[in-house]
Amino acid sequence: MPRQIDLIRASKLPSNMMQFAARGALSVPPEENLEILVYLAKHNKIFGDLARMTLAGWDEKSSLDAASDPKTPREVLDYLISPENIRPKLLPALLENPSIADALLAKFAISASQESIAAMLQSGRVRASTVILSSLRSNPYLKTQDAAAVANLLHARQAPPATVAPSASPAQSASPPLAQVSEPGTPLTTEAGPEASSSEDSSAESDSGEEVPDETVSAYLAEHAPEIAAEQDKPFQPVGGILELLGADYFPVSENRALTEPAAIPAQPSATPGSAAAAAHLQPLAGVHPHKPVPAKRDNAVQKINRLDVKGRIQLAMKGNKEERSILIRDGTKVVALAVLDAPKLSDGEVEKFALQKNVLEAVLRQIPLKRRFMKNYIVVRNLVANPRTPLDLSLGLMKHLQPQDLKNISGNKEISETVRKLALKMYKQKLEAATKK
C-alpha cells in the first residue's frame, strides 16, 4: 500500500483529503505527517499557507524528534533550519544534527536572530566550525560582545603552532603550517568538505572561469564616458577611510611578535652560532616562517588600486578577483563602485554582503535592486532592508517581499530607522492575521 506522501506527490489524493493533510489530520505516523506538511508548504499553492501555519504550531516533541534524527528527510531538515521557519526550541538539536551540512548552517547564521545567535554560540559544532563562525561574523544582529566571542573563536581556530620543534628540518617545520594559514575570518576549505557549496564557493568558481572580454569593459566605459571624463584624475578614496578598509587584522598582534622576528627562531643543533654556516642557515628560515604576516597580501591589493586612475579601476572592477571587488565596491568614485555590480564574475554571495555594508555609497545600494538577477535572491532583499544605510524609500518598497520572521527581527533592530521598524511590525502583524484567517 503506497504511503500518503507518495499519493500527494502524485496528485492522487482528493481535495478534501488534501485539506486534512494540510491540517496534519491524516491517520499516519508523526514523521510522515511532518513530511507531508513540509511538502505542501513548499510545493502546493492551494494548501501551502495552511500547511505552514500547521507546522508553526506542530507538536513540539514530534518536531524535536525529527530535528535531532539524522534519518529525517533532507527536505524536512532544510525547512526546519530555514530562517523564516526556525523554532528556537528546535535549534540546539538542529545545530548538532550531522545530516544538516555546515554550508546550510552558515547560510542560516548570516541572518539569525539574537536569540538564535546565543544558541549557536553554545553549540560545540558551531564553535568548532570556521565556515559557520565566518558567516555568523557578518550577521547584522550580532551584538558587540558576541562579535568579540566569534572573533576569538575564529582566531583560536586559525592560530598557528606557537613553537617549532628544534629537531625538525626546515622543510618539515615550515611547509605544513604554511598550507594551513588563512586570513582571519576566511573559511577554511578543509573544514567545509565536499558538501559546502555556499555562495563563497560559487564566487571562487566564477573567479577561476574564462577571462572577461575587453568588449564588456569597453561598453561600460563608453556608456559612462561623461562621468569618467569628469573624475578621471580622482584618486582611490574608500568610503569609511583606509584604516577601516584594512581593518585591525592588518597590523601584526603584539603577542605574535616573537613568531615574526628572526631572533625568535632557535638555532639548529647542527650549526654553531658563531659560524658563517649558521648565519647562512638561519637567514632563509626567517623569510619562510609559517607566521609571516598574511595581511601583506591585502596591502598589495590596495597599493595596486592606489596606482590606478578611474579607467584602470573600472577595468579592475570588472576583470579582477573577489578581493579586488570587495575593495573597489567601497570606492568613493561612483562610476567605479557601480562597475563592480556589472562585473561578469560577481557572485550572489558577494552581492549579499554588499547589500549589508554600511561603508558603501548610497548609489550602490540603490543600484542593486535595479538588477533583476539580484532581486531574485531573497537574502539580498532582506539584507538591504536590514541595512541602516539603505535609503528609507528603498527599504519601505522592499519590505513587502519579506517573510514574517524577518519582519519581526527588523522591527526590533534599533540601528534601523524608526519608520522602517514601525512598518515592519505592522506588516508582521498583518501577515500573521492573514495566515490565521486562512
pLDDT band at 265 (very low <50, low <70, confident <90, very high): very low
Which pLDDT score, from 0 to 100, does residue 390 have? 92
Mean pLDDT lowest for which of 12-26, 166-180, 407-421?
Answer: 166-180
Q: What value does the mean pLDDT take over residues 89-94?
A: 94
Unique residue bearing C-alpha cell 601583506: 296
Neighbour count for residue 129 (Cβ, 10 Å): 25
**Three cell numbers written together for 115:** 536569540
**Three cell numbers written together for 261:** 622576528
Write down the pTM of the prediction. 0.46
Instruction: Give the integer Cα–Cα distance in Å for 240 and 238.
Output: 6
pLDDT in tens, 207-248: 555 678 888 888 899 888 888 988 888 888 888 765 556 554
All structural domains of the chain with their residue ranges: 4-158, 211-261+292-346, 347-438
pLDDT in tens, 332-367: 999 999 999 999 999 999 999 999 998 999 999 999
Which pLDDT score, from 0 to 100, does residue 210 have? 63
